[in-house]
Structure 1
């Protein structure tokens, strides 16, 4: 699937206020940073590096506590926690943000870009920045886009070398209308499912396969 998956580094609005507060009162702050990926995934490596830089630049006053592998819930649950101030940061897929800013659904359309350069131009340009600007009124602040990679289909039945090979396969997809309709168009049987449930579904053969960026599949 020539569909590039993007994450956003997102903070709750109260986190933005707390950064300013640190400079004023000198108190320590602990940032709860949750995401869906495993601890051996590049996103987790990025969170750890962010933690190191933030601690160094704040003189140790700001610390990051990472919660990988959906420990704080799925993306929608973490989104609510961000808005409520219970969680301070996350790295959600742009897909999950379409529930509060519908226009983020534009990023999900397959075959919209052919390479990383086109994707960067799209999201670093007017469209991507317009989407980011819509988040503060929803209680979120986007710090920037984060590549997750082009999506790949894996399954236990047969190689996928042409669109017709998808016909009849039960493929786990993100619970999102664009993903559902895309795989229906290929005559597959898309099964919407939270990411945290995917491994168990594959093991139990409740689905034949799944689609994700390579780094997610590998980790």
Structure 2
């Protein structure tokens, strides 16, 4: 007969150790599933929060745009476009007028010192519109010669194209825009709407408008240039 082996306390402990180990592993698995579920729930909540923040941003932006006392995106854009229009007058129109004022049949009837400002005014009326006419038509309305080899037409067309691009940008910016040429000859300027050409005396009466006011929703963003005598 084989000798009898009696169970020792250590053997008994090993024999019964599988139960608590399995239970511990199950608890670990349950905890991992809980953590995964928590992570997923957190990700979902973050996505919902981001959507709500975007929607709130859109609503706040729309509210800002609708307030006349705040400079919203559209108002800021029109301020920039108004500065572009002013630059056109002060640089592009001036350069053209200096070159061709003495050839403009409408301008040569004026005193010499008025000719350049007067041509600028004529150009403004033709070009600051929603849809300027072709360069050749503008050339004829200014009574400029057509036998110069096409140089004047090319110069007018370049100005016309630049002003057309400006008109497109103004339309794209939105809001109600207008070019305001209205003025009263023989009266002094209205500072909120008009300013005199740098060579003129602001205390003298207005002779003619050189460029229009830039008006958006009834608000003047850029004042008229006027010539005084």
Q: Same fold (TM over 0.5)?
A: no
Instruction: Looking at secondary structure, tell me which structure has more helix per residue.
Output: 2
Question: Which structure's relative contact order is higher, taking Cα pairs within 8 Å and 6+ residues apart?
Answer: 1
Q: TM-score, normalised by structure 2?
A: 0.23
Q: Which has the higher strand share?
A: 1
Q: Choose 1 or 2 for highest CA Rg.
A: 2
